[in-house]
Chain A
Amino acid sequence: MAKLWVVIKREYLERVRTKWFIIATIFGPLFFGSIMIVPGYISARTVRDSKIGNLRILDATGTGLGARVAAKMAVSQQAVGSATQVITLSSAALTEAESTATIAVMQKKDQGYLVLDSTTLTRLTARYAGSNASAFGETQAVENAVRQSLLQTRLEQAGLDAQRVDSLTKVKVNMSVEKIDEKGRGGSGMASALFGFAIAFLLYFSIIFYGQNIMSGVLDEKTSRVSEVVLSSVGPDTLLAGKILGVGAVGLTQQIAWIGSTALVWKFRAVVMAKLGVPMPAFTLPPISIGMLCLLVAYFVLGFLLYASLFAAVGAISGDQQEARQAAAPVTMMLVAAMVFAQPVLFAPTSTLAKVVSLIPVTAPVIMPLRMSATQVPALEIALSLAGVALACAAAIWASARIYRVGLLMTGKRLSIANVLLIIKLGRS
């Protein structure tokens, strides 16, 4: 045990002392914080910056709809001072007017033009053409203005007073979305999904990053020949265990630092967002119970052990970094597959696909926590999935230790799959 501790200590301290660890630990929360704040900030800026200036409205409805749309546009676009020009004309003159307007857009005099004709009122159609036609926010602003104006016009035509119509149609709905599970109402649905995805991504990232870290560590010991010196003091199983536990502890340290400081950013996000002039998104994080937290840690630990031992075995059978990258591809692919399933599982967490991939041991460590945040997973399924991961983990550790023991001393010789299988079977070369 004393020797295991010495190995763990070295693996841990030598990694947390490196510059990249310190940089990643400090910048991680900044990155996660910016994920929380920047999209809101950008979208707020985008809405404000949607300039629909120099718009030409060709109104052939004969109802003054064009002027109404222009007025709506002026209200919504007041910050940028749009210059909307309304041309009232007959249906017959429309074709020629459109040609003129097209040329104006081509010469960049106007940004675009809106055609309101006789079908606009009857069939609720309108046409917009402009240099900004692919800008979603901008065309949506025009469409909103047309829709509201049409509604008002139709209500007036139905005999309502114009002022009453105006006050009645000024309605803004702010809908919040909430998730309900067996325990009652939880946080917002969107927040749960984002949270689940963030957890899955964190698990995926940590497992792949630190798993590969172990692989290169093993390879480094093998190619630098230091393994032989170390093996004359400790057994290969102790060395492997110490390496996996030490690197795992580095991963946990980093995650605790990240989660802690991200929680701080989350707590003070209102202050930061207010300073940036971004409205606070109206959702709360789902509450995490102690039980859920324990399950998350269990999935991380088991998932990490499973993949770390596989990566260690890959390091032990490879001769150099390039060989190791090739040999690691099947292991990495299993994890990537888990992330590929993340989106479909998030959208349909109770589907058969979601159930299956959350039970397969190699994808479960990433998918099950994701599913658990999206829906109420039956306890039996969680138990089955955890048992599967634990079994796979034990098998991977057993096989890897056998490969590691032999592979570590084999230099300059690339092991074939047949060799590796033989080593697993016999426990020696």
Chain B
Amino acid sequence: MTELALDIRGISKRYAEHTAVRSLSLAVPTGAVYGLLGPNGAGKTTSIRMILNIIAPDTGTVTILGRSNTDPGILDQIGYLPEERGLYKKMQVHRVLRFLAELKGVDAKEADRRIHQWMERFDLTTAGKDWGVAKLEELSRGMQQKVQFIGTLIHDPDLVILDEPFSGLDPINAQALKDTVVELKKRGKTVIFSTHLMDNAERLCDSVCIIARGEKVLDGTVSGVKAEHGGNNVALAVGAGGTEVLAEVLAKLLADHTMIEKVDDSNRFFEIRLQAGADPQALLRTIIAAGVPVQRFELVQPSLHQIFLEKVGATGVEPGMSGHG
């Protein structure tokens, strides 16, 4: 088995009006859950399309499971769920899934067997009703999402690429998706998903890459990235009536630039970044001395969300770019 499921070296894509991806390199280990993070328009979808050879990069190479992505048959080992989802609406569900399976080289008989299993697992075939014979347009949106998800995995791919998989999912389908990602990882499969939702990435990913304006900003394991950017953050929660006093204290401390650098009010708690070399105990003493009823005072690593905001800022999108990531 090869070490890397995906090895991207220096891919770029330039359009007439703008550069969508600029010399991007990534290394995704086999069996990892990998997050491609970035704001809308950062170049995520263009990168994914280049991985899948849907569009050709201007420069650079893409190697999947040790083979070039232009090798015949290599794409059969990838399952892809695009951001903008849709299937043949007038086709029967079973026929759509068999078509997708056959496109990936699964023979019809084996496809039928797998379709049956998946349909039962996702409650699309029950004792009372078989949605397999219904046309896709007769299904609810949630059911259509399930069908699309089955279509992505029906050929049992070794590499699964999910582009913004959580967008538009209802909570039940979102949970089913998370469960499936975890299960895929347990079976040794590699999952890459793009998202701009940091909470999901933080919970699911082993490694991440943040891209903005078509360029890589940082990458590494989630714990490594956090360790590199953290260690000096405090999560602080206060009891009833303490918020106003705390706000006054924090404003004062922010103004003199000696103890704290930044405060993020997350409603239920404050995430505070200390100045380099500042002592957290001194901060705790100052707050207690001011009479604030402290409920939680914890040294924490910064969230991916914090790191993302810090690295990308509010303007991670290059002017003139729109639509896909």
Contact = CB atoms under 8 A, between A and B. Distances in A.
Interface of A: 2-3, 6-7, 10, 14, 220-221, 224-226, 228-234, 409, 411-412, 422, 428-429
B84 A3 contact: no
A10 to B, nearest CB: 5
B103 A230 contact: yes
Contacts of B16: 422, 429
Contact of B90 (A2, A14, A231, A412): A14
A225 B88 CA distance: 9
Contacts, number: 62
A6 B99 contact: yes
A165 B216 CA distance: 109
Contacts of B291: none
B52 interface: yes
B15 A232 contact: no
Interface in B128-181: 148, 151
Given A2-B105, A3-B103, A409-B54, A233 B89 contact: no
B88 A226 contact: yes
Given A229-B80, A409-B55, A429 B151 contact: no
Interface of B: 15-16, 49, 52, 54-56, 75-76, 78, 80, 82, 84-91, 95, 99-100, 102-105, 148, 151, 323
A89 to B, nearest CB: 78
Given A3-B103, A6-B102, A232-B54, A225 B78 contact: no
A19 B272 CA distance: 66
B86 A234 contact: no
B54 A228 contact: yes
What 8 A-B pairs are tightest by C-beta distance, nearest first? A225-B86, A224-B86, A233-B103, A232-B80, A225-B84, A228-B82, A6-B102, A232-B52
A284 B116 CA distance: 58
A183 to B, nearest CB: 50
Contacts of B86: 224-226, 229
Given A224-B86, A411-B84, A232 B78 contact: yes
A226 B137 CA distance: 13
A143 B55 CA distance: 78
B92 to A, nearest CB: 9
A309 B202 CA distance: 47
5 contacts: A6-B103, A224-B88, A225-B82, A228-B54, A231-B54
Nearest to A224: B86
A75 B305 CA distance: 104
Nearest to A7: B103
A428 B82 CA distance: 21
Nearest to A235: B53
